[in-house]
Amino acid sequence: MKSLLVALLSFILIGSSQAQDLIPAKGGDISITPILHGTFVIQYQDLTIYVDPYGGAERFSGQQKPDRILKTDIHGDHHDQKTLDGLDLSDAILIAPQAVADKLPSGKSKAIKVLENGRSTTLSGVKIEAIPMYNLPETEDSRHPKGRGNGYIVEIGGQHIYISGDTEDIPEMRALRDIDIAFVCMNLPYTMDVAQAADAVSEFKPRIVYPFHFRGREGLADVAKFKELVNAAAPTVEVRLRNWYPEN
């Protein structure tokens, strides 16, 4: 009976696969659909954005085909060419750092737009800014050196959406302001731990935060602990726990 209650509580806290969150915005709701790990879909009006498609094209069945695809880094859980090859990219503009763009075959999508850290582009009224994501300390053998990959800030429907990419607790993240929705990673040894992530979030104080990308060498990070830490330090921040690992 106890195990059944624990399973039920986990379902209530984390939700079910492919569940959509609707967030009010100017001109209509923004829909957020977790897919897997660091992969999700943003929909607003007639625009559909895929973030780091990964895990097989079949995971996107039932989704609108993408108008934009945001790519953050070269690693296989972010740049998954097999998944891209299985998607209809005929209307998609791929936005990526140069290191990822170098790996993308030509002719598969409508266009490829290269953005480096600190650069931005506005497409169909949606501003997309590339910002740093990297590991600390900065070393020559870093898994995520500064400048290779992108985090993003997406301005859509009057909302500012921050996508961390694979980052550690960097000053550029702590300096963020006026973020409405944040997606923040936490998986050692690749990014940061739960306490670091919670401390950073408690400083830049997004209105809503989704812990995502939390599978590491030791399994899944304790996102319930992340929620507890954020709620204690920054009670105005809403922590949303969702099912990023439907097979677990």
pLDDT one-digit tens code per residue, 98-142 = 999 999 998 899 999 999 999 999 998 999 999 999 999 888 778
Give the rounded distance of the alpha carbon of 74 from its chain centre: 15
pTM: 0.91
Is 120 strand, coil or helix? strand
What pLDDT sits at residue 247?
Answer: 84
Residues of the chain above pLDDT 70, percent: 92
pLDDT at 18 (0 to 100) = 65
| Cβ-based neighbour number of residue 28 at 10 Å | 13
Question: Average pLDDT in the 9-32 region?
Answer: 74
Kindly report, residue by residue over 202-236, the tens digit of the pLDDT. 999 999 999 999 999 889 999 999 999 999 999 99
- Paired tokens of 172: 């550029």
Whether the predicted pLDDT of 9 surpasses 50: no
Both tokens assigned to 21: 């969150």
Q: Which residues contact 149 (CB under 8 A, 6 or more apart)?
A: 72, 73, 74, 78, 97, 99, 100, 133, 134, 165, 166
Percent composition of the chain: helix, strand, coil (DSSP 3-state, to 5) = 20, 25, 50
Predicted local confidence at residue 15, as pLDDT: 40
Q: Does domain 19-239 have CATH number 1.10.1740.110?
A: no
**Of 28-32, 93-97, 182-186, 216-220, minimum mean pLDDT range:** 216-220
CA diameter of the chain:
56
Q: Domain map of the chain by residue range?
A: 19-239
> For the chain, where are the alpha helices, taking DSSP H only?
2-14, 81-85, 98-101, 171-174, 194-204, 223-233
Integer CA distances (angstroms), 161 to 8, 21, 64, 139, 172, in order: 31, 14, 20, 29, 15
Average of per-residue pLDDT across 5-16: 39
Mean pLDDT score, 74-96: 96
Q: Is the pLDDT of residue 8 over 60?
A: no
Strand partners, 162: 153, 182
